[in-house]
Structure formats: C-alpha cells, structure tokens
Amino acid sequence: MRVVPVPVRDDNHAYLLIDEPSNKAAAVDPYDVSKLTAAAKELGVQIVAAITTHHHFDHSGGNKDFAAKYPDATIYGGSDKVPALSKLVKDTDEFTLGDNTHIRCLATPCHTQDSICYYVVDKSNPDQPGGVFTGDTLFIAGSGRFFEGTGDEMNRALKYLGTLPDATIVYNGHEYTGGNLSFAKSIDPSNPAIARLEDLVKTNKITTGLTTIGDEKEWNVFMRLTSDAIVSNQ
C-alpha cells in the first residue's frame, strides 16, 4: 500500500491510494481530475475508484468530471450531497481496493454531517502502519470548523479517531499546519511535542503524511482538552 499526496487548489490535499502489487488506485477527494490522472500515469497505476471525505466543493467538486473520465469507477461518499455518488457508505462499512488494501469507514459528523474518515491498511503487510484520510475533521495540530455540527460532535469525532492505533499516519484535507502550530504554541508553549512539530514545519513545506494519531494525542489542543495546560486556558 502506498499513499501519494497530490496538491490541488491553494492548500488542499487530494491523494492517490495505491494497492500494491495490483497497481490499482483510488483517488481521494479528486477535486482536480487532470492532476490526479497525470499523477497516476506517472506512477503507472490504474484509477478504479474515488473516495470522498465530505460534500464541500473543494473536496467533491471534481466528482462529476471524475465520473465522466472514469465511468466504471465506484465513487464512495457519506451522503447523497456528494456529487456523482455511486456507493453510499456509513460508519463501520468496509471495502477493498485491489488485492490487499482494506478500507474502513469512520463517521465523524460535525464539519459536515456526511463527513467520513477512511482508515486504510495493507492486509498483506501487517508491519506497515495504517493510514487515515481525515478530510476536514482532523488536521495536523487542529480540527475542522463546525459548519454543520457542535463542539460536542467534534470532540466525539476526534476521540473516535483517537481509538485508531497510535502509529496510524494522518492524511488530512488541507495544509494548515503552520497556523495550527502558532495556536498550539499560544496555548501550551512548554509542551515538548509542539517543539517537535515546529521542527517539522520548518523543514517541510507539505506536512501531510508525516505525522501520526499518536502525535496528535501529544500536540493537538483539541485532542487534549482535559490536560492541565488546556484546562488552565479555558
């Protein structure tokens, strides 16, 4: 299993999730179909599906073009608000990409009520950490806005993601890490994990795919609401 980020728009991340060795791929939030098609061609993989994290245009806005370009591909999503949807998924639903890539759906309603995160593992390689596509629910050191939900819903969504193995790699929907770092430093400046995050931001223009759920439990303010540093700032 391999994940390749494909930058789109100003700060969005789309992805190719690739099953090895079948070389079949799913496009995650394929806003810019031409970019994903070019990336797939360069990598020598066949796109057979699209995975949509939620219905907002900057994530699902390419779905109709995707359906026209790949008419035989399945388009997964969490509600009928997702354009060109062909397979509705709900919490705990599971499906397979290619031969070995297993995908489990995690319903995380708040940013939108149809937000779905996708936990992916390579069944042929249990030593490889899994990954999770979090859309606009979980960002590196941050969370999404509550456009269609409440703070309680976001808290439950982040706790749900926190049940994944600590080694799970985070693939989020936007490159917001620099701003989130500044906020985290203002709340918990003595946290050594935030110093690690600052080093990461300084040395990487793109940070998605470089951190884990375990990291988030150490530096994400919104996953540490009961810690002394966070409570003292409330």
Provide the sign of the torsion angle of the four alpha carbons 162, 6, 60, 50, taken in this order.
negative
Structure tokens at 170: 């985070």
Local structure of 87: helix, strand or coil: strand
Structure tokens at 89: 């998924």
Distance CA 141, CA 176 (A): 9
Query: What residues contact 68, with CB distance under 8 A and at least 6 apart?
Result: none
Considering only CA atoms, which of 173, 32, 165 is closest in space to residue 108?
A: 173
Residues 100, 19 contacting (CB under 8 angstroms) = yes
Active site residues: 54, 56, 58-59, 111, 136, 174
SS3 annotation, 25-77: EEEECCCCHHHHHHHHHHHCCEEEEEECCCCCHHHHCCHHHHHHHCCCCEEEE
- Tell me, rounded to whole angstroms, the distance of Cα 169 from its chain centroid: 9
